[in-house]
Amino acid sequence: MIVMAMDSANQLTNSDAYKRRYWIGSIAFLILLIAWEVFARYSGWSANIFPDPLTVVSSLHELFINGTLLRHTVASLFRVTAGFYLAILLGIPLGILLGRLQFARWLINPIIQFLRPISPLAWIPLAMLWFGIGDKPAIFLIFLASFFPLVVSTTIAVYNINPTFLQVAANFNFSRLETLTKVIFPAIMPEVITALRLTVTIAWLVVVAAEMIAVQSGLGYLILDARNALRMDYVMDSMIIIGIIGLFLDGLMRRLGKIESAQWGSAAR
Amino acid sequence: MGSIKIENLTKVFMNRRNKPRSISDPDEQSGDAVLVLKDINLEFEDGEMVCILGPSGCGKSTMLRIIAGFDEPTYGRVLHGQKPIKESSAESIFVFQHSGLFPWMTVAENVGLGLRHLKDATEKQARINEYVEMVELEGFETYYPHQLSGGMQRRAELARALAVNPEMLIMDEPFSGLDFMTHMKMREEVVNMHEFLKKTTLVVTHDIDDALIMGDRIVVMSGRPSTVKLMHQLDFPRPRDFERDPDLSHLRSEIFLMLGVPYAV
Question: pLDDT tens, B211-235?
Answer: 888 888 888 888 878 888 888 888 8
Please give the single-letter amino acid code of residue B7: E
Answer yes or no: are the C-beta atoms of A256 and A207 closer than 8 Å. Answer: no
Helix (H, G, I), strand (E, B) or coil at A17: helix
* B59 plus B41 within the same structural domain: yes
SS3 content of chain A, % helix, strand, coil (to 5): 85, 0, 15
Question: Residue B124: which residues within 8 A CB-CB, separation 6 or more?
Answer: B112, B115, B118
* Predicted confidence (pLDDT) per residue in A134-151, tens digit: 889 999 999 999 999 999
Q: Is B138 exposed, middle or buried, given 0-12, 13-18 or 19+ CB atoms closer than 10 A?
A: exposed
B233 forms bridges with which residues in the sheet? Answer: B217
Of residues B33 and B190, the one with the higher pLDDT is B190
Give yes or no for residue A267 having a pLDDT over 60: no
Number of domains into which chain B is organized: 2
Give yes or no for residue A118 having a pLDDT over 70: yes
What's the rounded mean pLDDT across residues B166-185? 85
Least confident of B151-165, B192-206, B246-260: B246-260
Which of B69, B146, B164 minimises the CB distance to A264?
B146
CB contact (8 A) between residue A172 and residue B94 = no
Contacts of A10 in chain B (CB under 8 A): none
How close B128 gets to chain A, by Cα (Å)? Answer: 16
Contacts of B159 in chain A (CB under 8 A): none
Answer yes or no: are the C-beta atoms of A169 and A179 closer than 8 Å. Answer: yes
Which value, to the nearest 10 degrees, does the dihedral of the CA atoms of residues A235, A236, A238, A242 take? 140
Q: pLDDT band at residue A253, thresholds of 50, 70 and 90?
A: confident
Of residues B29 and B204, the one with the higher pLDDT is B204
- Here the CATH number for the domain that contains residue B236 is 3.40.50.300
Least confident of A63-67, B61-65, B101-105: B61-65
- To the nearest whole percent, how much of chain A has pLDDT over 90? 42
* B135 plus B197 within the same structural domain: no
Query: A116, A122, A124: which is closest to A149 by C-alpha?
Result: A116
Q: What are the phi and psi torsion angles at B78 (to 5°)?
A: -125, 125
* B204 plus B235 within the same structural domain: yes
Q: What counts of helices (H) and strands (E) characterise chain B? A: 7, 10
Query: Which chain A residue is nearest to residue B71, measuring alpha carbons?
Result: A167
DSSP 8-state code for residue B114: G
* B208 plus B86 within the same structural domain: yes
pLDDT of residue B5: 82
Give yes or no for residue B168 having a pLDDT over 50: yes
What's the rounded mean pLDDT across residues B182-191? 84
Residue B175 CA: distances (Å) to CA of A48, A149, A161, B172: 74, 42, 24, 9
* B175 plus B247 within the same structural domain: yes
Rg (CA), chain A: 23
ipTM: 0.83
Answer yes or no: are the C-beta atoms of B77 and B127 closer than 8 Å. Answer: no
Least confident of A42-56, B3-17, B33-47: B3-17
pLDDT of residue A139: 92
Give dist(CA A118, CA A148) in Å, integer: 10
Report if residue B193 sits inside a domain: yes
Residues listed for chain A: 269
Angle at B5 between CA B213 and CA B54, to 5 degrees: 40
Contacts of A165 in chain B (CB under 8 A): 100, 102
pLDDT of residue B77: 84
Which of B87, B100, B145 minimises the CB distance to A168?
B100
| Average pLDDT taken over every residue of chain A | 86
Helix (H, G, I), strand (E, B) or coil at A164: helix
Tell me the DSSP string of A68-128: HHHHHHHHHHHHHHHHHHHHHHHHHHHHHHHHH-HHHHHHHHHHHHHHTTS-GGGGHHHHH
Contacts of B93 in chain A (CB under 8 A): 171-172
| Sheet order of strands, B32-44 included | B32-44, B4-15, B75-80, B83-84
Strands B228-233 and B217-221 turn out to be antiparallel
Which CATH number does A51-268 carry?
A: 1.10.3720.10
Which value, to the nearest 10 degrees, does the dihedral of the CA atoms of residues B126, B131, B135, B136 take? 0
Query: B189, B156, B198, B168: which is closest to B64 by C-alpha?
Result: B168
Give dist(CA A63, CA A116) in Å, integer: 38
* Predicted confidence (pLDDT) per residue in A24-39, tens digit: 888 998 999 999 999 8
| Average pLDDT taken over every residue of chain B | 81
* Predicted confidence (pLDDT) per residue in A170-205, tens digit: 888 888 998 999 999 999 988 898 899 889 999 999
Q: Where are the beta strands (DSSP E) in B134-261?
A: 168-172, 200-205, 217-221, 228-233
Answer yes or no: are the C-beta atoms of B128 and B115 closer than 8 Å. Answer: yes
Contacts of A170 in chain B (CB under 8 A): 69-70, 87-88
* B152 plus B222 within the same structural domain: no
Q: Chain A interface residues facing chain B, Cβ-Cβ under 8 Å?
A: 164-165, 167-168, 170-173, 182-183, 186-187, 189, 261, 264, 267-268
Angle at A12 between CA A7 and CA A18, to 5 degrees: 120
CB contact (8 A) between residue A264 and residue B100 = no
Residue A230 CA: distances (Å) to CA of A37, A50, A54, A221: 20, 11, 18, 14
Contacts of A173 in chain B (CB under 8 A): 89-90
pLDDT of residue A147: 94
Structural domain of B74: 1-16+32-91+169-180+187-265
* B153 plus B173 within the same structural domain: no
* Predicted confidence (pLDDT) per residue in B122-160, tens digit: 888 888 888 888 888 888 888 888 888 888 888 888 888
Give yes or no for residue A3 having a pLDDT over 60: no
Give dist(CA B220, CA B259) in Å, integer: 9
Q: End-to-end distance of chain B based on CA atoms, in angstroms?
A: 39
Contacts of A192 in chain B (CB under 8 A): none
Give dist(CA B50, CA A41) in Å, integer: 85
Report if residue B258 sits inside a domain: yes
pLDDT of residue A222: 92
Give dist(CA A72, CA A245) in Å, integer: 13
Report if residue B21 sits inside a domain: no
CB contact (8 A) between residue A187 and residue B96 = no
* B12 plus B58 within the same structural domain: yes
Least confident of A23-32, A161-170, B32-41, B119-128: B32-41
Give yes or no for residue B207 having a pLDDT over 70: yes
- To the nearest whole percent, how much of chain B has pLDDT over 70? 91
Least confident of A63-72, A214-223, B35-44, B254-263: B254-263
CB contact (8 A) between residue A261 and residue B100 = no
* B41 plus B1 within the same structural domain: yes
Query: B224, B212, B183, B207: which is closest to B261 by C-alpha?
Result: B207
CB contact (8 A) between residue B88 and residue A186 = no
CB contact (8 A) between residue A183 and residue B68 = no
Which of B69, B96, B146 minimises the CB distance to A268?
B146
Answer yes or no: are the C-beta atoms of A40 and A50 closer than 8 Å. Answer: yes
How close A265 gets to chain B, by Cα (Å)? Answer: 8
CB contact (8 A) between residue B70 and residue A164 = no
* B153 plus B137 within the same structural domain: yes
Q: pLDDT band at residue A266, thresholds of 50, 70 and 90?
A: low
Instruction: Name the residue ranges covered by the structural domains of chain A.
Output: 1-44, 51-268
pLDDT of residue B24: 47
Helices (H), B100-179: 107-111, 121-134, 150-163
Contacts of B105 in chain A (CB under 8 A): 186
Contacts of A172 in chain B (CB under 8 A): 90, 93, 113-114, 164
How close A163 gets to chain B, by Cα (Å)? Answer: 10
* B115 plus B55 within the same structural domain: no
Model pTM?
0.80
pLDDT of residue A72: 92
pLDDT of residue B23: 47
Give yes or no for residue A88 having a pLDDT over 90: yes
* B85 plus B199 within the same structural domain: yes
How close A88 gets to chain B, by Cα (Å)? Answer: 22
* Predicted confidence (pLDDT) per residue in B70-106, tens digit: 888 888 888 887 788 888 888 888 888 878 899 988 8
pLDDT of residue B211: 86
Q: Chain B interface residues facing chain A, Cβ-Cβ under 8 Å?
A: 68-70, 87-90, 93-94, 96, 98, 100, 102-105, 113-114, 144-146, 164
Q: Is A44 exposed, middle or buried, given 0-12, 13-18 or 19+ CB atoms closer than 10 A?
A: exposed
Give yes or no for residue A158 having a pLDDT over 80: yes
pLDDT of residue A8: 53
Which of B68, B90, B100 minimises the CB distance to A173?
B90
B78 forms bridges with which residues in the sheet? Answer: B6
